[in-house]
Chain A
């Protein structure tokens, strides 16, 4: 049994949000074994996976990556980045690799770079579906052959194994496509003999960077030193501290079950975990359990194009309009549908027109328990989704003009009911996607769909 300790640094919770340079330097110059960073999530919705666009400014990601690479290369420890470009698809991975190559060129850095692809080809997915290897989670959208072929992009969420293969092949910098956040941090410690219950729980605490400190004033780094029994979490920034409460409650965050965390190949059970303050800034975590599964599965994520969106925002302040807002909007909808049908030849089933009424129930919609409480004004978000951008824009223009002058019985003559803050009143918001999979894929080989390429820079 190894007595060696492994110290992991999480640069931050998301590569695009950044961290303090001093914090990373302090951590990396204190005998650490690797720097990890998660660069993505599904949290911002299906757009990024669907469109292939990365989230955030390229320059920001480049700056943050340069600090991570500089410190890792100087300390001669690996840097591991997962879920490149926010969604981890092929275009996202290429975007991130371009940044890394550019940094190497500009700084005359030389290292072995591993890239791990996680985009799943649709034909492979159709085959897996027919072979019964795909199982829905609960709840899940319907996934069949037509949905797969019609979707924009799928990714599989890799576990620790593809990272371990890259590290085993001597990679100093590993850039992963879609990856379990926890796997980024558990891969190397497991290779060095740290037990699974320690590595996976440390990974869960590290994955959001300094989010598990008592008061996170800004995004920053976190470290975890792992051994055979447990790990100690500590922020390198002297202004931050981990407390028993802050570390213990982090397993709640964005996690449906407070004690059980399902990963590829097993599950972390923290129901018996002990948290102990080492000092006023560091917390020792022991007693978690790893429950292995019979099957090895990876989570699938997919996005499908729904249409194209145009939006406009308008204020409504006339109390006579407000007191009949529902009937006013319904009546307006009928007039609009007729105009769109007459002038553009599109039926109401072929596009979606919706209003969100801010000031009444814009946030909760039909679930709003206080929707009768209308204020002295409302903000009306007019949302059109149609099969083409041109059509969405065309319908929006009809909505804006018709809505502006739509009458109410109390006022005679031409009225203008919508206060548009902008000219033009609306804007094109581009393609709209939806998540089309919440499934797991049973793999006989954890490396199976995750092709690796190596290059020496």
Chain B
């Protein structure tokens, strides 16, 4: 069983302005990126599920040369609004870190 963080150099969330959140997931190698894409676990649908974003507002980018996946969603609550808990948006990635990638092959080694 492999978790997402075992395949990555960086998993982060951050404001892209006060109204959007962006997630950058940078992989250690192409094999890890491929394994995650193949698993289908990290998808636009997952971001709808986790963060309540409407599917048509999820921007999902695969940046193969950078070994990265980037996802941008509308902020569940605008930065600094009364119900916001994270002004910089820096901890929204928490639930992604230990995401189980359903792959039996060892993808941590290139």
Query: In the complex, what residues of A have CB within 8 A of residue B65's CB?
Result: 248
A95–chain B nearest beta-carbon distance, Å: 21
* Residue tally, chain A, CB below 8 Å to B: 39
B59 and A438 form a contact (CB under 8 A): no
In the complex, A279 has a CB within 8 A of chain B:
no
> Contacts A255-B22, A435-B80: A249 and B14 contacting too (C-beta < 8 A)?
no
A256 and B59 form a contact (CB under 8 A): yes
Query: In the complex, what residues of B have CB within 8 A of residue A248's CB?
Result: 65-66
Query: In the complex, what residues of B have CB within 8 A of residue A42's CB?
Result: 15, 17-18, 79
What's the Cα separation between A54 and B61 when bound, in Å? 36
Q: Which of A336-371 contact B (CB under 8 A)?
A: 352, 354, 356, 362-365, 367-370
A177–chain B nearest beta-carbon distance, Å: 18
Query: In the complex, what residues of A have CB within 8 A of residue B76's CB?
Result: 367
Residue-by-residue, is A119-157 near B (CB-CB < 8 Å gives 1, otherwise 0)?
000000000000000000111110000000000000000
> Contacts A137-B19, A140-B19: A352 and B82 contacting too (C-beta < 8 A)?
yes
B106–chain A nearest beta-carbon distance, Å: 24
What's the Cα separation between A435 and B87 when bound, in Å? 12
In the complex, A330 has a CB within 8 A of chain B:
no
> Contacts A256-B59, A364-B85: A435 and B16 contacting too (C-beta < 8 A)?
no
A438 and B18 form a contact (CB under 8 A): yes
Q: Which of A44-52, A198-206, A410-418 contacts B (4 or more CB under 8 A)?
A: A44-52
A363 and B94 form a contact (CB under 8 A): yes
What's the Cα separation between A320 and B59 when bound, in Å? 44
What's the Cα separation between A370 and B14 when bound, in Å? 21
What's the Cα separation between A432 and B17 when bound, in Å? 19
Which chain B residue lies CB-closest to A307? B82
In the complex, A106 has a CB within 8 A of chain B:
no
Query: In the complex, what residues of B have CB within 8 A of residue A249's CB?
Result: 24, 26, 66, 68
What's the Cα separation between A55 and B92 when bound, in Å? 24
Which chain A residue lies CB-closest to B87? A45
B17 and A369 form a contact (CB under 8 A): no
Which chain A residue lies CB-closest to B98? A370
A43 and B78 form a contact (CB under 8 A): no
Which chain A residue lies CB-closest to B95? A369
A438 and B19 form a contact (CB under 8 A): yes
In the complex, B88 has a CB within 8 A of chain A:
yes
What's the Cα separation between A432 and B84 when bound, in Å? 12
> Contacts A245-B66, A258-B61, A352-B82: A364 and B17 contacting too (C-beta < 8 A)?
no
In the complex, A306 has a CB within 8 A of chain B:
yes
B66 and A354 form a contact (CB under 8 A): no
Query: In the complex, what residues of B have CB within 8 A of residue A433's CB?
Result: 80
In the complex, A253 has a CB within 8 A of chain B:
yes
Q: Which of B36-69 contact A (CB under 8 A)?
A: 50-52, 57, 59, 61, 63, 65-66, 68
A44 and B22 form a contact (CB under 8 A): no
A304–chain B nearest beta-carbon distance, Å: 11
Residue-by-residue, is B9-21 near A (CB-CB < 8 Å gives 1, otherwise 0)?
0000011111110
Query: In the complex, what residues of A have CB within 8 A of residue B22's CB?
Result: 252, 254-256
Closest 9 CB pairs of A and B: A45-B80, A256-B72, A256-B16, A45-B87, A46-B80, A139-B74, A435-B18, A438-B19, A258-B70
Besides A42-B18, A46-B18, A438-B17, 4 more A-B contacts (Cβ < 8 Å) are A248-B66, A256-B22, A363-B86, A369-B95
